[in-house]
Chain A
C-alpha cells in the first residue's frame, strides 16, 4: 500500500517558537493531503485540506495564520505551527489522498507527530 511519512515523530518546544511538521508520500504522488489534529482519547479533527500548487482550504475555526500549510510539491506538505502555545500541544496526523481503481478515494495516513509546547 501507499506509504506516508511524517517528520518529526515528536517535538517539544518552548512557548512562542514555531514548529514545522513535514508530511511526505514516499512511493506515490499526492495532489491532495489532509492535516488532522487529535486530542487524547478523541477522534480526528480535520484542520485543513492541502492542495499542491494552491492555497490550503481551512476548516471553520482553524486559524490559517496560526497553522501555515505549504504543499509545494506532489510528495510534500508542511504544517507550521507559528508562535506555539501550550494549548497547541496535540497529536498532528497527515494523510494523502489516493484514487485507485477499485477502491475509490482512499486516504493513507502518516504515523503522526506529537507536539508538546512547554
Chain B
C-alpha cells in the first residue's frame, strides 16, 4: 500500500535554512507535492516536482527527489518567522481518480 512518512517537528533559527524530509513507499508516484498549512487555514500548494526530475528550485524553495530511495526533501533558504507552519508532502499515484496521499505533516517553528 501507499504510505508517506515525515518527521513531526523541526525548529530552526531565523535566517538559517530549513530542510524538511519525506519518504514514500509507492514507486508508481507521478508527481510529488509540498503544501503549507498556517494555523486555522487550509492547505496552500507550495511547489511540486515530477517524478523524473531530481531537483526543482523556486525562489527560496528547493525540492530534491531521490527516486531510488523514495526520498523527497524541501529546503527553505533564509527561513523567516512567517515560514512557521505545518508542511505536508503528498504523492499522486499513477492510478486515476484517486486523491493525493498525504504525510502527517512537519510542524516548522522558526525562532527569532
B24 adjacent to chain A (CB < 8 Å): no
Contacts A107-B99, A109-B35; is A95 near B43 (CB within 8 Å)? Answer: yes
Inter-chain contact total with CB atoms closer than 8 Å:
58
Pick the contact of B30: A32, A91, A104, A112 (CB < 8 A): A104
Identify the interface centre among B41, B50, B97, B99: most chain A CB within 10 Å of its CB: B99
Q: Would you call B30 and A42 a contact (CB within 8 A)?
A: no
Output the least CB separation between A76 and chain B (Å): 17
**Which residues of chain A (40-92) have a CB below 8 Å from chain B?**
41-44, 46, 49, 91
Q: Would you call A44 and B50 a contact (CB within 8 A)?
A: no
Contacts A44-B88, A104-B30, A105-B30; is A114 near B40 (CB within 8 Å)? Answer: yes
Closest A residue to B6 using CB positions: A43
Q: Which residues of B contact A (CB under 8 A)?
A: 30-31, 33, 35, 40-45, 48, 50, 88, 90, 92, 97, 99-100, 102-105, 107
Q: Which residues of A contact B (CB under 8 A)?
A: 1, 4, 6, 32, 34, 41-44, 46, 49, 91, 93, 95, 97, 103-112, 114
